[in-house]
Structure 1
Amino acid sequence: MAGVSVAAEWQLLYNRFYRKLDLYSLPPQSTSPATASPPPPSAAPSPPSATSPRSSSSAPSQPAAPLLFSASGQPLASLPWSHHPRIVSMSWSSSLLLLLVLRDGTVHRFDSHLRPARPPVFSLGPEPFSAGVADCVFWPTGLVALTESFQLFVVSDLDNPVVVKLSDPGLEDFPLCMAVIEPQYTMSGNAEVLLAVGDGVVAVEEDGRQQLGMGVGPFQKMAVSMNGKFLAVFTHDGRMLVIPTDFSKIIFEYNCESALPPEQIAWCGLDSVLLYWDEMLLMVGPLGEPVRYLYDEPIVLIPECDGVRILSNSTMEFLQRVPDSTVSIFQIGSTEPGSILYDALDHFDRHSAKADENLRMVRSKLPEAIEACIDAAGHEFDVSRQRTLLRAASYGRAFCNQFPRDRFQEMCKTLRVLNAVRNHEIGIPLSIQQYKLLTAPVLIGRLINANLHLVALRISEYLNLNPEVVIMHWASAKISASSTTHDNDLLEILLDKLKLCKSISYAAIAAHADNSGRRKLAAMLIEHEPRSSKQAYSFVAKHR
């Protein structure tokens, strides 16, 4: 069968299949990506990986400055670093800002080119400054910092930072580990910090604290599931437990046969938990024997909404549960409608009469078979397999009038966008589920922030989205980057592109030129503003 080689790459965890896809082979680097701070989780494009200047056993000679790489390993930028307080932690926000938290409680914000964001720096306050920051935990939109004096400070919106001190956790020593339940998953709507203390957990919020799970621990590692409902913990005696975040019961327990705590613990979707020790990655599910993966180099686990990205010195991989539609088609011995239709195409290509026989077998379930092939194509990263699955769907559509044509066209469009941004030169390996959660406008925003304006413009035009935001950003970036270009020459370059969008605001671009010190250029641009009300800028009259 055509799907045998596909299913042979899968691993079975009880009754669920998992697959590990090679996204990129990374070029040799002068630093170890395995010390990188994870990019944004859940539906964020794979932004650059940033290496930390902190020392690490896996990378004995660390650089003196943060370095930036694309997810495909292409070097993008470096940041000269002269600040004396050491970097305690670093991570990406959901809006693709790189956050560097220093020991003195200052937080530096950079864009995806390591240029200072606005505001470039904010402080966690006088108490973290005097006591010092000991540790940080991030989530996509916020962070929590633990000070040397055992106090907690939270920023829930990294784009508009407001620092809130949580209740006194009552600690006499540092917790064994720390995790955060994001605000959208708590009853109060505020972040809840879980601290492993003694033989249980102290849950701390703005208005109080409570002790949970007493007698179950001590806990060496904790990880909150993507939906905020479950907690995976590793205990002092080598057990991996899954517990509701209210600690009402133990849902699952697995004896890891070693009391040595894993270096990392992460959820793989909602169906399994990954534990990583040096050279071994263990995937544990609610039933059945765990799956083991061996590595001869250090790795970093980056949880996503539908799996985990695995970053090593040489590869970027994606581990996920095999989608149901893919299983129905490629599982060995499958008799599902999608599998029969897929085989019918194979027989058709080989001019075998068995193609007609397969079609007769599945005729009453052709819509189901076509949908399975289309859905499976959407979950594939391999372009040739995408094509074959879509050809199978198209072959079935020729004998099924009632299947909606729009569904096929929509998937083709989606895959063209995904394949474009997955290109090694761009390095955004989104899955289709991540893309749907992110949405096309947000992806376009990420592309323009990375100065990938041409790709962003082509995607906007292809999806019939307004290209104004792309052209506006390009024009502003062009003005900022063309300090030595004569005003008349730069105006000609700008006008050539601005005419692509009739609704473009020349006044807004002129204002940016004026703020950049290009007053003559601003005056020339404002003359092309078609709306007279927008031309009433005092700087035009002042600087002519």
Structure 2
Amino acid sequence: MSTSPVATWDTIQDVFYRKDTVYDMSWSIPDLSDYIVATAKNGGPVAMIRDERKIMLLGRHAAGKPKIYVYTSSGILLSTLTWDLTPPVLLHFTSQNLIVLSDEGLYRVYDLSNPTEYKQYTLGSEVSSVGIIEAQAWEDGLVVLTGDLQFLEVRRWGGGRAVPLCPSELKELPASWTLLSPDKSPSGHVQVLFSINDTIITLDALERIDQHVSRGPFSQIRISPNGRFLALLTVFNTLWVVSSDLSRNLSEVDVSQWGDGQPDRVEWCGDNAVVIAWGGKVAVAGPGGDCLIYDYPPSAHLVGETDGLRVISSHVCDFIQKVPDYSLAVFKPGSTHPAAILLDALDHFERKSPKADESVRYIRAELADAVDTCIEAAGREIDSYWQKRLLRAAQFGRAFIDLYNPSDFVEMAQTLKVLNAVRYYQVGIPITYEQYTSASPTFLISHLVSRNLHLLALRISQHLHLRPDAVLKHWAIAKITHASSQSIDPSERGIADDHNICSAIVAKFQKEGKRSVSYAEIAKKAWEAGRTRLATMLLDHEPRAAEQVPLLLQMKQDKLALGKAVDSGDTDLVYQVLLNLHSSLTPGDFFHLLDDSLSPNLTPAVNLLQVYARQSDRELLRNFYYQDDRRTENGCLDMEEAGESASVEKRKERLGEAARHFGESKERAFESKMAEDAQRLLTLQDSYQNELSTPTHQYYFASLSVDAFIHALLVGGFSKRAEKVRSDFRVPDKRFWWVKLKALAEVKDWDALEVFAKAKKSPIGYEPFVRHLLKVGEPQKAVSYVARCDAKARVDLYVECGEWGRAAELAREKGDKGRLEQLKRQAPTGLAQRDVEEVMRRPGK
């Protein structure tokens, strides 16, 4: 049986604190004072490098370039990194990376999952020239104090520019300084607090404000985890705790009574207490001057957490915290809380004592609260024995409640299983329940993945019913990176090796990821590692063409990329690929790729290219037709452009090209001749237009058909030129007579029309003369041509001209009495009817 939890408890003014030993360290480091140490939050790893500013005994450390050692919180070595730059001034952990900054302004971002690979950035030549004295960082950036005593901010870890904050006006180094990250700063931007003389200055990008504190100088400034409080240690060893805006004084304690000399370090223990370390002592300070003192080696390293303090020494990793309220309710000596009584009832029940029933009856009204408290208290215990004991008590109490939702119980059991797994010393992540809930399960999984603990991360994801995509993706990339890091020329790797890796990744994804994981990012990593064939194999399993195609283009797998885009049925994606290839390939390579005789499956892409080029890039379409030996299509394109062009010269040029393209094909001789005729006609029209136009009257013949051209010339009075056009273009007599009839009628040149009609026998007859003149509203002129028409049609034509009497006379001459009667009945007016009757009354035939 484990010892009682209260065995590690101590009190400060009725407030309970506890110190639990989490690990006995596995390393063999006798003294941490030789190192610059950095520790990740939430139970993360420890990084250290020899402090070259300190004088050390010869032989105490290995010769050669400095090494950065990364350990778990249990002291197990994770990796060793060689540092070949100038001495570092900062080691800092983000959630995924280790940041190391040199005093010349160079910093490296190490990926914890593959620490041999890093990205290096510089803060600029100006920073390099003055150097860096100190630096502090947060999750997304850092602030440096340069050699010229100015503060610079760097946002994010991608090589961003160092942005100066407001001038500090420092003449000497500040006694101490700290930064407020954007999530803790009241302004939402980075702020720097530094101590100079007896005051504190706040500094950001816009202003420098003297807080007029008058209690300094301060040798240590620390912000609480929630950003609401400041712990200020004066050079006179007075610990002053105030609100972060320095407006409220919370406590003031003289710490010189607890130790000699100036303290080495000040840290917050959660948001509840301040811890001071110097010599071999670690003191938890109470507000009234009381404290708890723990003995450690002089080099113990303090790590402030959201709910406590991690102490890492050469021998142990401890966790100090204020005892949680749930634990107090259950375990505080003499507690009468229902949860404490429920735990006691469980003891009686297991001993088969009747007092168990008495205890349950006593707290019956508060049994639900007792169960809830036991569940929450289980989460706050590190010892698995007491976790199980408290959950057993909750389960026991639950049996006496008629209606109780067990989801909290189940969730806590799941969470504790996860926490115990990662707290195991070989994993070495002593994360607490409070840290776990505030950071989220995905943070923990990300932490495990960054250490390549993929199997554990995958099992936790499954246990918590989380999507395993991120874990599987990282595992696949790590597998490819590891295989590629071996000293083998990529060109010497056989297809079997790529196939084996691809098969392993696909099988794992299908088994664990339910086929929802994207292969594109993994394929990109394979390509970046020189494994193009493996990348192509992986992309074959990517179901989303929008993810496949861009990477295939990057890999220069042009035909495959276009084929995938076509197969997707996404026209926008096909256009994207076509335009990308058109801009990156030579015309010959581009059109060879689209040769549908070589790749029939690309025919839809070829069709889409033609649609796009016809609308937006005619030169591209022309080149495509030329490369594909499509003479007829090129000729049609020339004809189309000739019709669209406003320039006569351009149209003549395009018509000539069309005739040439059509002429290159025996089957298109007719089209070639038509294009030549069109060019010849346009040339003649342009010539006449220039010859006949005057300053007062401009003629426009271009774009007219042959008939319309002749008509325009006749209307203009240029009959000889019209005859020439007729002759040059072999216009048939019937068409010419029709055109001239309409033209002379349009200009009302009745004499010319009469001469034209009498010139020779009309090839179209004379009925068209009558009907056209009627159409243009000239019935009197039309009558003169009726007598020349066919005898059978004259009666009707006279009627159409309104000459009812002449129509009746003609019918009478024919002896057609029936038609006379019909004319009489159809006469539209009394006058017309009298004309018909008068003819009918005449004697004779």
The TM-score bracket by the shorter chain reads over 0.9
Q: What's the offset of the Cα at 1:531?
A: 4.3
Equivalent residue number for residue 26 of structure 1: 25
- Which residue of 2 is the match for residue 47 of structure 1? 44
Alpha-carbon distance in 1 for matches of 2:242, 2:502:
62
2:87–2:103 Cα contact (<8 Å) kept: yes
Counterpart of 2:501 in structure 1 is 490
C-alpha displacement at 1:71, in angstroms?
1.3
**Contact 1:377 1:390 survives alignment (8 Å):** yes
Length, aligned pairs only: 537
Please state if 1:293 is matched with 2:290. no
Deviations 1:233-266 (A, max 9, x none): 1112221111223322432111123672210001
Bigger shift: 509-518 or 346-355?
509-518
Residues 178 and 192, structure 2, Cα contact 8 Å, conserved in 1: yes
The one-letter code sitting in structure 1 at the alignment partner of 2:46 is S
Report the residue type matching 2:97 in the other structure. L
The offset of 1:288, in angstroms, is 5.8
Q: Distance in 1 between matches of 2:3 and 2:540?
A: 66
> Paired residue for 2:428?
427
Q: What residue in structure 2 maps to residue 139 of structure 1?
A: 138
1:213-224 to 2 correspondence within 5 Å?
Answer: 213-224=212-223
Distance in 1 (alpha carbons) for counterparts of 2:539 and 2:235 = 68
The answer (yes or no) to whether the contact 1:523–1:543 under 8 Å persists in 2 is no
In the TM superposition, residue 56 of structure 1 has moved relative to its aligned partner by 6.7
1:111-510 matches, within 5 Å, as 111-113=111-113, 115=115, 120-158=119-157, 161-257=160-256, 260-287=261-288, 289-483=290-484, 486-500=497-511, 501=513, 502-510=515-523
CA displacement at 1:540 relative to structure 2: 7.9
Change (3 A) 1:161 1:321: farther
Counterpart pick for 2:539 among 526, 534, 540:
526
- Residue 304 of structure 2 aligns to a residue whose secondary structure is strand
Question: Aligned equivalents of 2:268 and 2:26: distance in 1?
Answer: 28
CA distance in 2, matches of 1:477, 1:28: 27
Letter in 2 for 1:377: A
The change in CA–CA distance for 1:39 and 1:181 in structure 2 (over 3 A counts) is same
- Counterpart-to-counterpart distance in 1, 2:14 and 2:403: 34
Query: 1:100 — aligned with what?
Result: 100
Check conservation: 2:200, 2:212, Cα contact below 8 A: yes
1:81 to 80, 83, 86: 83
* SS of equivalent to 1:499: helix
Measured after TM superposition, the shift of residue 128 of structure 1 is 1.8
Distance 1:145 1:361, change over 3 A: same
Distance 2:48 2:337 in 1: 46
Partner SS state of residue 98, structure 1: strand
When you count strand as a share of all residues, which structure comes out higher?
1
Q: In proportion to residue count, which structure has more helix?
A: 2
Which protein has the larger Cα radius of gyration, Structure 1 or Structure 2?
Answer: 2
Structure 1's 4 and 48: CA in aligned 2 closer, same or farther, altered over 3 A? closer
Q: Which amino acid in structure 1 is aligned with residue 90 of structure 2?
A: S
Aligned-residue RMSD, C-alpha: 2.3
Closer, same or farther in 2 for the Cα pair 1:448/1:160, shift >3 Å?
farther
When residues 159 and 318 of structure 1 are mapped into structure 2, their CA distance, relative to the original with a 3 A threshold, is farther
Cα pair 1:194 1:201 within 8 Å, conserved: yes
Report the secondary structure of 1:174's partner residue: coil
- Tell me the secondary structure at the aligned position of residue 50 of structure 2: coil
Identity level (%): 33
Amino acid at match of 1:289: D
Residue of structure 2 in register with 1:110 after alignment: 110
Per-residue CA distance 1:273-314 (angstroms, 9 max, x = gap): 000011011111223621111123420110000001000011
Alignment of 1:512-523 (within 5 A): 512-523=525-536
Q: Which amino acid aligns with 2:499?
A: N
Structure 2 residue identity aligned to 1:175 = P
Once the 2 structures are TM-superposed, how far is the Cα of residue 423 of structure 1 from its aligned partner? Answer: 1.3
Paired letter, 1:388: R
**Contact in 1 for aligned 2:40/2:46 (Cα 8 Å):** no
Instruction: Please give the alpha-carbon distance, in whole angstroms, between the structure 2 residues aligned to 1:442 and 1:186.
Output: 23
| Unmatched runs of 5 consecutive residues or more in structure 1 | none
**TM-aligned CA deviation for residue 124 of structure 1:** 2.2
Q: Is 1:267–1:273's contact at 8 Å kept on the other side of the alignment?
A: yes
In structure 1, C-alpha distance between the alignment counterparts of 2:10 and 2:243, rounded to whole Å: 27
Q: Is the 8 A contact 1:56 1:62 kept in 2?
A: no
Contact 2:121 2:158 in 1 (8 A): no
Q: Deviations over 1:49-104 (max 9, x none)?
A: 11123237697645621111111111111112222x211121112x2321111111
Query: Which residue in the other structure is 2:630 paired with?
Result: none
Say whether 1:71 aligns with 2:84.
no
Q: Secondary structure at the match of 1:260?
A: coil
Question: Taking CA–CA contacts closer than 8 Å with sequence separation of 6 or more, which of the two structures ends up with the larger relative contact order?
Answer: 1
Residues 384-408 of structure 1: CA deviation (Å, up to 9, x unaligned): 1100000000000000123321110
Q: Residue 216 of structure 1: SS of its match in structure 2? A: coil
Shift of 1:179: 1.1
Partner Cα distance (1:527, 1:9) in 2: 59
Describe the shift of the 1:534–1:133 C-alpha distance in structure 2 as closer, same or farther (beyond 3 A): closer
**Contact 2:8/2:20 (CA < 8 Å) preserved in 1?**
no
Can you list the C-alpha shifts for 1:289-345, whole angstroms capped at 9, x where unaligned? 211111234201100000010000111111111110101111111111000000000
In 2, Cα distance between equivalents of 1:261 and 1:127:
35
User: For residues 114 and 169 of structure 1, what CA distance do their matches in structure 2 show?
Assistant: 39
Contact map agreement 2:180 2:192 (CA 8 A) in 1: yes
Q: Does the 8 Å CA contact 2:454/2:475 hold for their aligned counterparts? A: yes
CA–CA separation in structure 2 for the residues paired with 1:108 and 1:173: 29
Distance 1:540 1:146, change over 3 A: closer
Given that 2:122 and 2:159 are in contact with CA atoms closer than 8 Å, whether structure 1 keeps it comes out as: no
TM-score of the aligned structures, taking structure 2 as reference length = 0.61
Tell me if structure 2 keeps the 8 A contact 1:90–1:101. Answer: yes
CA contact (8 A) 2:36 2:48 kept: yes
**C-alpha distance in 2 between matches for 1:81 and 1:8:** 44
CA distance in 2, matches of 1:72, 1:59: 26
CA drift of 1:213 comes to 3.7
Q: Secondary structure at the match of 1:391?
A: helix
Of 187-196 and 429-438, more deviation after overlay is shown by 187-196
In 2, distance between residues paired with 1:207 and 1:142?
Answer: 18
| Counterpart code for 1:67 | Y
CA distance in 2, matches of 1:343, 1:173: 63
Equivalents in 2 of 1:294, 1:69: separation in Å?
A: 23
Q: CA deviation at 1:527?
A: 2.7
